[in-house]
Amino acid sequence: MVELVFGREQRGPRSHGRPYRLVAQVLRWLALIAAPALLRWSTRLFLLIRRLLFWIVALTAPVAREWSDRAFRFLVRVLRWAAAVAALAGLCWGLSVESRTSYFQSRIFSNLTREMSFVVEPGESPSIRFPKSGPYDERLGYVGLPMFLASLSAQRFTVQRQADWSAALDRFVDDGGYVRRGPSGGLWLALQS
């Protein structure tokens, strides 16, 4: 390691040698000897401060009783306002963070949709539902699928595989939500209002 030093060279503690070590050792001995005495004096000082505070409280007790009721009510009022202001500030901060990051929204919706899934299984699905109306579904032909499948089965065609929804996705649709394919092939979930 290279050390660059600018300015006048100063002598370090090791350059003093034996006298420095002797002074350091004497200071260590003094600290070991003085530690119990300092501890005793600090304990006595704290006891003295405690007695002084008790005397002050005893002398001011009659005056404090008169003011204590009013002071207590004032303190409670101030603490209520402080709690209300702190709650409002916390709410504003949370809204600010949410408007910038959408953290809470993503946590809530990811927890809600964690159980919503579908699996493509062999055969017809007993829980399949086809849309009944809607411009998007009509344009893409989803509304006509039940009639198309019925005409195909009349001509002895069978469904080889079909998507089966999870119970959570089934409840979502029962509660008024709908599932549709996005323009890029993704799945969209939306709740009708």
Mean pLDDT of the chain: 76
Give the residue-averaged pLDDT of 43-51: 80
Instruction: Write down the pLDDT at residue 186.
Output: 44
Give the residue-averaged pLDDT of 115-137: 83
Residue 124 sits at φ, ψ, to 5 deg, of -80, 145
Give the residue-averaged pLDDT of 77-102: 91
Instruction: Write down the pLDDT at residue 7.
Output: 44
Instruction: Write down the pLDDT at residue 6.
Output: 43
Q: Which residue has the higher pLDDT, 121 or 65?
A: 121
Is the pLDDT at 58 greater than 80, yes or no?
A: no
Q: Can you spell out the DSSP letters for the chain?
A: ------SS----GGGT-HHHHHHHHHHHHHHHHHHHHHHHHHHHHHHHHHHHHHHHHHHHHHHHHHHHHHHHHHHHHHHHHHHHHHHHHHHHHHHHHHHHH-HHHHHHHHHHSTT--EEEEES--TT-------HHHHHHT-TTHHHHHHHHHHTT----EEEEE-HHHHHHHHTTEEEEE-TTS-EEEEE--
pLDDT tier at 91, thresholds 50, 70, 90: very high
Of the listed ranges 8-22, 78-92, 116-130, 162-176, the one predicted with least confidence? 8-22
- Segments making up each domain of the chain, as ranges: 116-191
* Residue (of 107, 106, 127) closest to 117 by Cα position: 127
Please name the residues in contact with 117: beta carbons below 8 A apart, sequence gap of 6 or more.
165, 166, 168, 169
Token output for 20: 């420095």
| Single pTM value for the model | 0.42
Token output for 30: 């003094």
Token output for 117: 């899934």
Instruction: Write down the pLDDT at residue 20.
Output: 66
Give the Å distances, CA to CA, from 86 to 74, 92, 123: 18, 10, 59
Residue 86 CA to residue 193 CA, distance in Å, equals: 35
